[in-house]
Structure 1
Amino acid sequence: MRLQRRLRAGIATILLMATGSSFALNTATIISSTLSPDCLEYRVTGICYWLFCTQFGCSVRTSVKVRHYIPDAVVSSYANTGENPWIEVRAMSAPNTTAQGGGDGTTNHDNENNLAKFRNADVIGHPGGYVFSQFASASGYICEGAGTAFMPYLLSTLDTIAWRYNIPEAVYPEALIPGLREIGARTSLNLWGAVYPRGGFLHQVDDHKASAVVAQRAGDIVTRRGQLHVYQPLLANSRDGYWPAGALVENDASTGKWQELTPRLSNTCAVFPHSEPLTQAQQGDYAWALWRPYSCCQRRGQTFLGSVDF
């Protein structure tokens, strides 16, 4: 078992080092990124109790309750419409009659440092499910995620009214009142941007931070039901012995965390904002894997009696 774990860790290190400096993001690179113990964060959290009955009587059985993160989706945030940095899925978000242009605004002033930036965003099911399952199973029993590989959960080119015109979220209280739903904090002088309105436009000097804010907005949409956007919810339903991830909340790692895929492939996960070095993309295209927390325990009876956390 120890030899297998060392072998997997060695393979993960080699793959991450080999792809870390590449600006081209492909499916193979994304799959290799799932071999990250830091992002997985596997731990035993408690015990589940099950009532097991046969024709000879009933007994109470137990199973271990575990919690770990799962890479549910790849969230791309990019400037030029139709140029998703994930090459194999680029055709999903091709320009159309309502979504063609992209990029940043300009005032033609050399001293301007507060340009309006625009980013498209795509949320697509992470393709690394099988490799991740093999890697995570070495730690013990594993949970099922909500994402389906290559499934488009949000394509901003199909969400034109909400994404490009901020209708109706431009008049939401979260968009009008400073301090509500912000990534970072004004008091710490580390404010990356506001979650609302959840569209493609924002003002941010740093290109990387602007794209991260847009990625957070896209993740915020797909992890909630009933939003006024064109999307599919990236959520699973709870059941006996299974507690899926809920709504993604900014600044809160217990609801989800991000692994940078491009322009720099990272083997760790973090929330926005973070203190890690920010690499600027040459073409304004960025992508992250969205890891979400799940808890579960193995079914060992017909009736779930409850669980106790350590």
Structure 2
Amino acid sequence: MRLLFMMPVIFVLSTVVVSMTSASRAHAITTPEIIQSSLSTQCLDYQLIGICAWLHCSAFSGCRVRTSIRVKHYIPELVVSAYENTGENPWTEMAMLSPPLGNALGGGSARESVAHQHSNTHFKNVDAIGHPSEAFYQFARGFGWFCDSQAQPFRPYFISTLDALAWRSGVPEMAYPEALTPGVREMGAMGDLWSPIYPRSGFVSQTHDYKVAASTAQRAADVVTRSGQPHVYQSLIARHSPNSGIWGPGPVREGDRKTHQWQPLAPNMRMSCSIFPDGGENNQLQDPGDYAWALWRPYRCCQRRGQELLYFTGE
């Protein structure tokens, strides 16, 4: 199932309206601030790692070998927001994309009646939308110094209000082996389990609000970076075409920096990236609260300078 792409004119109009009506919201983040966050050199982690050798043939000059540099770096592909109340995405300009709709009207959490029971069940809405800085990487790719990806700026890849059946009920994933087998596909460290990844829904049995939000963000990224999942979404499959000089990552997997890393955007922006658990429970907590992260994914690439890639060096 695919999520329909919003028309550019509708997006522009909605941006203007939301900017006027949501400017006073606390802990919100705006598009210019998100673009500024993408200047993080630590998240980018740019490295020259080798060269690519291409066979270039033409009718006039015959065949010869051309070379180009091979680089690796992370790209901010998505802004993933996990928030308490339906229709209140902390990314100000995007809040209008996920209003209360149909069976997705409410939000919030079921609070424990006795504090020491620790039986909270929390719920978060989650939206995954194309990172606005992706336009820069698409432009810079033409100069051969940066990689680009399939991500499109401002495209809604996952809106949990449109995935109400799966996101609010856990159907059918509550019956998957990953959801029924302890120790399989779990996020967290030994002695500090944040949440299982399955079922990939908005409900998390966890007392810490930041861990709840991070768990649902990780679940949404897990869905979006795979195809054929039982959710309503637009898949974002990384480009992996060595013959074209592009080596993209595999699907996002919890705890694996080779597939992704997260940059906190809201409530407090950080110019650094990490994977969960990230220590954000100590300095990012709102209870209850709205959170946003940039999802960065690693790429390797070199500029194509011929019809066939002969060999490449570097990791």
Query: Shorter chain as normaliser: what TM range?
Result: 0.7 to 0.9
Distance change (3 Å), C-alpha of 1:190 and 1:265: same
Q: TM-score w.r.t. structure 2 length?
A: 0.85
Q: TM-score w.r.t. structure 1 length?
A: 0.87
Displacement of 1:25? 0.9
Deviates more, 1:189-198 or 1:109-118: 109-118
Give the counterpart of 1:262 among 262, 266, 269.
266
Identity of aligned residues (%): 48
Give the counterpart of 2:51 among 47, 51, 61.
47
For 2:19, the equivalent position in structure 1 comes to none
For 1:195, the equivalent position in structure 2 comes to 197
Q: How does 1:75-114 map onto structure 2 within 5 Å?
A: 75-114=80-119
Structure 2: which amino acid aligns with 1:300? R
For 1:230, the equivalent position in structure 2 comes to 232
Give the secondary structure class of the aligned counterpart of 1:48. strand
For 2:70, the equivalent position in structure 1 comes to 65
Structure 2: which amino acid aligns with 1:231? Y
Q: Deviations over 1:174-201 (max 9, x none)?
A: 111111011123xx31221111110000
Give the counterpart of 1:173 among 157, 173, 177.
177
Deviates more, 1:143-152 or 1:32-41: 143-152
For 2:39, the equivalent position in structure 1 comes to 35
Please state if 1:304 is matched with 2:306.
Answer: no
Give the secondary structure class of the aligned counterpart of 2:109. coil
Displacement of 1:140? 7.2
Deviates more, 1:287-296 or 1:57-66: 57-66
Give distance in 1, aligned partners of 2:149 and 2:177.
32
For 1:218, the equivalent position in structure 2 comes to 220
Give distance in 1, aligned partners of 2:49 and 2:192.
33
* Deviant stretches of 4+, over 4 Å: 130-134
Distance change (3 Å), C-alpha of 1:85 and 1:100: same
Give distance in 2, aligned partners of 1:303 and 1:117.
53
Distance change (3 Å), C-alpha of 1:165 and 1:68: same
Deviates more, 1:43-52 or 1:147-156: 43-52
Aligned residues of 1:35 and 1:132 also touching (Cα < 8 A) = no
Give the secondary structure class of the aligned counterpart of 2:127. strand
**Aligned residue pairs: how many?**
285
For 2:20, the equivalent position in structure 1 comes to none
Displacement of 1:110? 4.4
Give distance in 2, aligned partners of 1:201 and 1:171.
15
For 2:168, the equivalent position in structure 1 comes to 164
Q: Deviations over 1:258-289 (max 9, x none)?
A: 00000110000000012353321255110000
For 2:151, the equivalent position in structure 1 comes to 147
Structure 2 unmatched ranges of 5 or more: 1-25
Distance change (3 Å), C-alpha of 1:63 and 1:301: same
Deviates more, 1:37-46 or 1:111-120: 111-120
For 2:211, the equivalent position in structure 1 comes to 209
Give the secondary structure class of the aligned counterpart of 1:122. strand
Give the secondary structure class of the aligned counterpart of 1:231. coil
Q: Deviations over 1:7-65 (max 9, x none)?
A: xxxxxxxxxxxxxxx72211111111001000000112222110011233211222111
Give distance in 1, aligned partners of 2:95 and 2:102.
17
Structure 2: which amino acid aligns with 1:148? Q
Displacement of 1:109? 3.0
For 1:274, the equivalent position in structure 2 comes to 278
Structure 2: which amino acid aligns with 1:284? G
For 2:248, the equivalent position in structure 1 comes to 244
